Amino acid sequence: MKNKQIKILLSAPRGFCAGVERAIEIVEKSIQKYGSPVYVRHEIVHNKHVVDNLKNKGAIFVEELEEINDKSRPVIFSAHGVPKKIPEDAENYKMTYVDATCPLVSKVHREAENLNKAGYHIILIGHENHPEVIGTMGQLPKGSIDLVQNEAEAMEYKTNPREKLAYITQTTLSVDDTKEIIKILKDKYTNIKEPAKEDICYATTNRQMAVKNIAKKCDMFFVIGSRNSSNSVRLVEVAKKSGCQNSQLFHSESEIPFDQIQNSNTIGISSGASAPEILVKDFINELKKKFSINVEEVEIIKENVVFKVPNKLN
């Protein structure tokens, strides 16, 4: 088995985006500034490796503010964003809080508020129960925003024909699937208002484009990331649709399918926006133990986006 030659096409860009880097830095700087523990409401980003690493440094993860016994300790809101009610609750508890919401998610929140003020009824394209969707819908009064998850729901969607209508989207969706949903809505509601600039974020778009670029050349494709990471799960779908049927998510409990890899000549690797590069390196190192590996990084675009952490942490 040792010397089977395998080519790895390494998708670039991959891995951490600017919003994830900023969120992790916010937790680390909060621990430096306030000491430990600091609390984090919801996983800061959807990756077990990152979460475990921050736990070791002094972060405690909770789902709700009520779980925090010592309200004198600071709390950080995750990169996915939170409903309006959460910062209000924190203020009522007199808690110090730091908001690590990705600036591109905050942009969608502001967009939703502005549309609502301008009298629009809003359709949010996204996945039910994803924290980002809960956060975005939680910016507005109940009933002023509806969720559409797929083409079938877009077909069935009904609203008051006299209503001014606008749509916004979750930032981590499949670019191609979302286009189809938008097309259905535009055909039905010719006056529907669209975002001035697409809501799907640059990192999601770039990572999907990079996977599309190489998937058809691969016998197998691995996306390294967590099961609850929307952008990672989308990358697997994109790889399949782009011509590599044997595409799979490689998460913290996955085992490397060496026997399947043995039957492959070329495998593709990418990683979700919340997956650290060390996981990609570890994966390749495991393959090197069994096979003769030739790695080629295929980069389609350089990313140089950086988001600053809040001033109070500097």
Is 250 inside any structural domain? yes
Is 118 inside any structural domain? yes
Q: What is the pLDDT of residue 116?
A: 97
| Same domain, yes or no: 147 and 188 | yes
| Same domain, yes or no: 78 and 139 | no
For 124-149, what is each residue's pLDDT tens digit?
Answer: 999 999 999 999 999 999 999 999 99
Residue 222 phi, psi (nearest 5): -115, 130
How many residues comprise the chain?
Answer: 314
Q: What is the pLDDT of residue 2?
A: 54
**Which parts of the chain register pLDDT below 50?**
1
Looking at 200, 228, 258, the residue that finishes a domain is 200
| Same domain, yes or no: 85 and 147 | no
Distances, alpha carbon 113 to alpha carbons 77, 138, 140, 145, in Å: 20, 10, 7, 10
| Same domain, yes or no: 127 and 196 | yes
| Same domain, yes or no: 192 and 222 | no
State how far the Cα of 27 lies from the Cα of 138, in Å rounded to an integer.
23
Is 129 inside any structural domain? yes
* Count: domains in the chain: 3
Q: What is the pLDDT of residue 314?
A: 87
| Same domain, yes or no: 288 and 206 | yes
Looking at 99, 117, 142, the residue that finishes a domain is 99
- How much is the pTM? 0.95
Is 153 inside any structural domain? yes
Structural domain range at position 158: 103-200
Among residues 21, 28, 43, 132, which one is catalytic? 132
Give the angle 105-16-19 at the CA atoms, nearest 5°. 25
* 132 among known catalytic residues: yes
Is 309 inside any structural domain? no
Q: What is the pLDDT of residue 161?
A: 79
Is 306 inside any structural domain? no
Looking at 158, 180, 200, the residue that finishes a domain is 200
